[in-house]
Structure 1
Amino acid sequence: MKYNATVNFKEEFSAKIPALTLLNNLGYTFISPSECEALRGNTFASEKKSTHQVILLPVMRAFLAKQTFSFAGKQHNLSEAAIDKVMHELNPAMNLGLKAANEKIYNALMYGVSVTEFIEGKKASPTIKLIDWQSIANNQFHYTEELVVQNADGTGTRRPDIVCFVNGLPLVVIEAKRPDSNKEGKSTNVDAISQHIRNQRQDEIPHLYAYSQLLLAINGYEGLYATCGTQDKFWAKWKEEQIPEAEIVRLKNHKLGGEQLNTLFNHRLNKRVRLNLNNSSMLS
């Protein structure tokens, strides 16, 4: 196939697909929207089914099932009751407001969740971690696109462009925009930031942002980042301090293999997207 030098400024080609590909190259595993709905306990084909739940439930439970705690000189696995307790603690307390709910999830991520277990009639109170900070390979990394989230009132849905999960928890929310702006002197990332701020409102999808530890606005040309509750004027440009520039270039330009492309694009109706991606240098 001949290289097509025509630049396509639609956000799908210029920002979103490159971001999806880069996440794959960083080690995240893509799950299609329908697979994601199933893992959330929702039925994608049913419009009547609630899409309020945003955790990948079996992924988080599987991680917890592998965690052990020390008691009386022995290692013990968590009981189902303890796993249920942790999952309950991960329900954001939205009645306290978004910032308080986000802080509660942050503390759970950093310091773990305390549970009560009984071993041979003796009480144990271990603190269970939600992320293995020492051995990154012990964690599960997933991402999806067009995550359907029901708003707080149950009257409609929003669809963030990309959401990244760590052990089933939606810790990163990304909005992608095309790079060419119709507003002179203004980046299209202004619109992406506006969407993030709107979606955090009480009547929107704050229950997704309660988990978020990183928010990104990208347009294929620049990226801005913030955290929950950040005003638009405080969003900042991302500056990579740990990954060498040569490694960044390699990751951005590494082409996906056939199986990776199938996983990423088989759910799309237009197969030409997959072919064009593999035979162009749009990621350079």
Structure 2
Amino acid sequence: MKFNEQYTVENYIIEFLCGDRSFAPTQDDKKQVTQDGSAGGLGYEYIPPQEFTQLREFENEYIVSPLLLAAIKRINNIDDDEAYNIVREVKKIDTNEGFLNLFRNGVDIVDLATKRTINYRVVDFDNLLNNQFVVSNQFYFEGNSENIRPDILVFLNGLPVVDIEAKSPTASVSVNYENAVDQIGRYERNAWKLFLPNCFNVATDGLKTVYGVTYSPKQYFAE
């Protein structure tokens, strides 16, 4: 077997999150995961990169609209028209702080018929099984000054919330998790839109793993 980032550390992480990729967990399986962690990894859904590209119209899109739309409909029990309005509001957010507020508080929209303000959520904190956690790898993204391909991205209801960069411990004695941290920083600068909804990032070489919140300098990444 060829040992590199994809076939050692990256695959291990995906299996840890999603379990056996030939296994498609049912809703009952996901419930079992929340109880004892026994089925399908952590219960995240894996979508291969070739399938993931079909969910985006353009390669500079960081919001996966079909997944976000489905989540909004499911969480708020609303129809397509209402959900599309919320998706449009979400796409107007242009700061990391704005997305944090979205995750916490949802979106307020005025009903034109009743003039009432209605709150819609994009994350269900009361019923975690109502959310969709998706993992994809080698996600191609057209950045502002560099086109990037993050190793692993975790999406929450269609929004990219975690970037995981993996370096292989077999590649070179000079390659380790610090190179992954540097890569994350470069991605944040050169493809910053992808990190607007980001909550934190993970860097690993399979031997040591560190994490840091969005835009953290290297010295603030912690084990």
Provide TM-score, normalisation by structure 1: 0.66
> Could you tell me which of 19, 26, 29 is aligned with 2:42?
26
Query: What residue number does 1:174 align with?
Result: 164
Partners of 1:160 and 1:174 within 8 A in 2: yes
Post-superposition offset of 1:65: 1.6
Call closer, same or farther: CA 1:61–1:174 in 2, change over 3 Å: same
Match of 1:128 among 120, 124, 131: 120
Q: Which amino acid aligns with 2:197?
A: Y
Aligned to 1:131, the other structure's residue is in SS state: coil
Give 5+ residue unaligned stretches, structure 2: 19-40
After TM superposition, give the deviation of residue 15 of structure 1 in Å: 0.7
Q: Is the 8 A contact 2:163 2:200 kept in 1?
A: yes
**Structure 2 CA distance for aligned equivalents of residues 113 and 93 of structure 1:** 11
Runs of 4+ in 1 over 4 A off after TM superposition: none
Give the number of equivalent residue pairs: 200
- Could you tell me the percent identity over the aligned residues? 25
In the other structure, the counterpart of 2:33 is: none
* Corresponding residue for residue 211 of structure 1: 197
C-alpha separation between the residues in 2 aligned to 1:37 and 1:125?
36
1:116–1:67 Cα change, 3 Å: farther
Let me know the Cα RMSD of the aligned residues. 2.0
Match in the other structure for 1:11:
5
Matched with 2:72 is 64
Preserved CA contact (<8 Å) 1:141 1:167 = yes
Residue-by-residue CA offset, 1:154-174 (whole Å, 9 max, x unaligned): xx5100000011111111111
- Counterparts in 2 of 1:225 and 1:218: CA distance versus 1, 3 Å: same
Q: Determine which structure has more spread, i.e. the larger CA radius of gyration.
A: 1
Q: Over residues 174-226 of structure 1, what are the superposed CA-to-partner deviations in whole Å (9 max), with x where a residue is unaligned?
A: 1000124433xxx611100000001111xx11111111112000111121001
Shift of 1:86: 2.1
Provide the TM-score with structure 2 as the length reference.
0.82
Return the letter of the residue paired with 2:165: E
1:135-174 counterparts in 2 under 5 A? Answer: 135-153=127-145, 156-174=146-164
Q: In structure 2, give the amino acid aligned to 1:54.
A: Y
Distance 1:37 1:124 in 2: 38
Pick one of 213, 220, 223 that aligns with 2:209: 223
Match of 1:199 in 2: 187
Preserved CA contact (<8 Å) 1:64 1:78: no
Question: What's the CA shift for 1:115?
Answer: 1.0
Matches of 2:181 and 2:12, distance apart in 1: 19
Q: CA deviation at 1:83?
A: 2.5
Q: In 1, Cα distance between the equivalents of 2:165 and 2:213?
A: 13
- Tell me which amino acid in the other structure corresponds to 2:15: T
SS in 1 for 2:210: strand
Kindly provide the amino acid, as one letter, of the partner of residue 42 in structure 2. L
SS at match of 1:19: helix
Aligned to 2:88: 88
Name the CA distance, whole Å, in 2 between partners of 1:233 and 1:65: 41
Structure 2 match to 1:232: 218
State the SS of the aligned residue for 1:27: coil
